Amino acid sequence: MATSAIPTLHDVDPTDGEKPYPKFKNEAFLNFGNNDVKRAMQQALSNVEGQLGHEYTLVIGGERVSGSAKIRSVNPARPAEIVGIHPEAEPEHVHRAVAAAAKAFSTWKMVPVSERAGLLFRAAEILTVKKLEYCAWLTYEVGKNWAEADADVAECIDFLEFYAREALRLDQATSPIQFPHERNRLRYLPLGVGAVIAPWNFPLAILCGMTMAAVVTGNTVVIKPSVDAPTIAARLMMLLEEAGLPDGVVNLLQGSGDLAGRMLVEDPQVRFIAFTGSKKVGLDVHERAAKARPGQHFLKRTVLELGGKDAILVDVDCDIDAAVEGVAASAFGFNGQKCSACSRAVVDARIYDVFLDKLIERVQGIHVGEPALNFAAGPVISETSFNRVINYIAVGKTEARLVTGGAALQTDTGGYYIQPTVFADVPPDARIAQEEIFGPVLAVIRSNSFTEALEIVNGTQYGLTGAIYSNSRERLNMAAEQFHVGNLYLNRKCTGAMVGAHPFGGFNMSGTDSKAGGADYLLLFTQGKSIAEKLGILDDDGDEFRHPDGI
């Protein structure tokens, strides 16, 4: 929950370690089985429905800026329904936004950490009050059902609360050793102007988390959300302004990665890029950021959260029903459109048939329909995504055995619906077992031993999340050592990382393992400055004196 009082550095006594603010606690999820909560959500959906189709602006240096070209965001469940209309940034807008961020940095970096953290605490408090409203926006713009939308908003609140506290803690950092006859200090300074390039699948939580981690540490940013979720970004910008965001600290651009995104990455004033998205785009960002441009006098830093081909290992002695539930929830929650989603189930041959039969029954019970009506599964995000997933299903039919799903669902609304799809007897090197699909498609792979199962789960270029279901402590311990992913879960699903408890980020081609929501994350947006002062030069009155040892 949001705090009622904003802590300041004057309240922090570093000598006794007491904290003047409540201990961090993850935001509680809503119970939509409660009739009062259900009615409140339905009212929020109705209220937001009345605001669909509104035209928004870019925000540069606090000014509302229009443009001639437009981005029309649509409801993936009803593509004829426009959620919001946004200007598409032109090159001059990118230059203006970077200049505005650079100007704001000269003052924002000097603002006390307590005040910067206070901005985050206020934003969390406002968002807590408006939680259902933002859930409704997520439902309309990206097709999240009520629980998935609630999880997105709750994570956003958690990021704000957690990073505010972490910034206050980081400000109290000290050198681990005090060298004799010196005063040694360690300060973490902001980097400067940054670019935040965010995805559509967690368009509130991830955008807010990357943005405000940079802001609370004293940086200023230009944000470029996905063209599939521009309205959520505009609404977040409105919330931050309500919380007291100074002009130019966050600047909002809408536009394509090919234009606005690329220009931001290459701008010689942009010191860091925080990016969440596909491996292909992330590698391009990393390569472009590595090249020094004329006028650039620093190495750009990249914070990259990329894709995954996540697996759940199902061991021979596991609770099969629990494993089936974990696999189904991880594979088909939000229609498989999470970088942490389970896209491979690696199952011991001795329980393979029993597991598969139970899984098919469970998946066939997933009801697909309009997110606003709170169906378990909804549409994929766009026509482009729809076509990509359908193409992968066609590939899968040539590589393995289709056991359920495998087709588009026709609706009166024209939504981008695809049946939850399961392939069995998938070779570990099949395309559907190696390439990120980002849709409701699961590959079930047979393993003949635990050693082979570990080889299979590690046998992709990714290393984001994974899980194992087993009742063997020995094999759980082996997985903890040998299952090569950034986030590993034992006897639970591989999605649903909680801020603070599960710092999130992956290995290999899954990114820079930045561990969002963890104690180290803010360090990525800072640079450490060590300050050593020789003692004994001046006394308290300003008079010179010498130590007895002659130093």
Instruction: Read off the pLDDT of residues 367-392 as tens digits, 9 standing for 90 and up.
Output: 999 999 999 999 999 999 999 999 99
The whole-number pLDDT of residue 21 equals 79
Catalytic residues, which ones?
305, 339
Question: Would you state the pLDDT for residue 256?
Answer: 87
Is the model's pLDDT at 117 over the cut of 50?
yes
Identify each DSSP E strand in 258-341 by its residue range.
Answer: 270-276, 301-305, 310-314
- Residue-level pLDDT at 538: 58
Residues 522 and 431 in one domain: no
**One domain for residues 85 and 102:** yes
List, for residues 119-168, the tens digit of each pLDDT value. 999 999 999 999 999 999 999 999 999 999 999 999 999 999 999 999 99
Confidence class of residue 428 from pLDDT cuts 50, 70 and 90?
A: very high
- 448 domain residue, yes or no: yes
What percent of the chain is predicted at pLDDT more than 90? Answer: 92
The pLDDT of residue 91 is above 60: yes
- In this prediction, residue 94 carries a pLDDT of 97
Q: Are residues 197 and 234 in the same domain?
A: yes
Mean pLDDT of 28-33: 98
Neighbours of 251 (CB within 10 A): 30
- Using alpha carbons, select from 190, 259, 249 the residue that is nearest to residue 223: 249
Strand stretches in 502-550, DSSP E: 526-534
Q: Is pLDDT at 1 greater than 90 in this prediction?
A: no
User: Does some domain include residue 2?
Assistant: no
Torsion of CA 49, 260, 514, 185, to 10 degrees: -110
Domain span at 473? 310-490
Mean pLDDT of the chain: 94
- Specify the pLDDT at position 498: 98
Residue 501 lies in a domain: no
Residue 551 lies in a domain: no
CA 513 – CA 335 distance, rounded (Å): 25
Residues 355 and 459 in one domain: yes
Both 292 and 368 in one domain: the answer is: no
**Same domain (yes/no): 140, 256:** yes
Domain presence at residue 502: no
Phi then psi dihedrals of residue 544, to 5 deg: -75, 145
Residue tagged 């100007």 (tokens) = 103
Length of the chain: 551
One domain for residues 267 and 360: no
Report the CATH number that the domain containing residue 298 is assigned in CATH. 3.40.605.10
Residue 270 has pLDDT above 60, yes or no: yes
Percent of the chain scoring above 70 in pLDDT? 94
Say if residue 291 is in the same domain as residue 402.
Answer: no
Asked if the structure places residue 537 within a domain, the reply is no
Give me the number of domains the chain comprises. 2
Whether 196 and 73 share a structural domain = yes
Question: How does 408-421 read in b/e, with b if 16+ C-beta sit within 10 Å?
Answer: eeeeebebbbbbbb
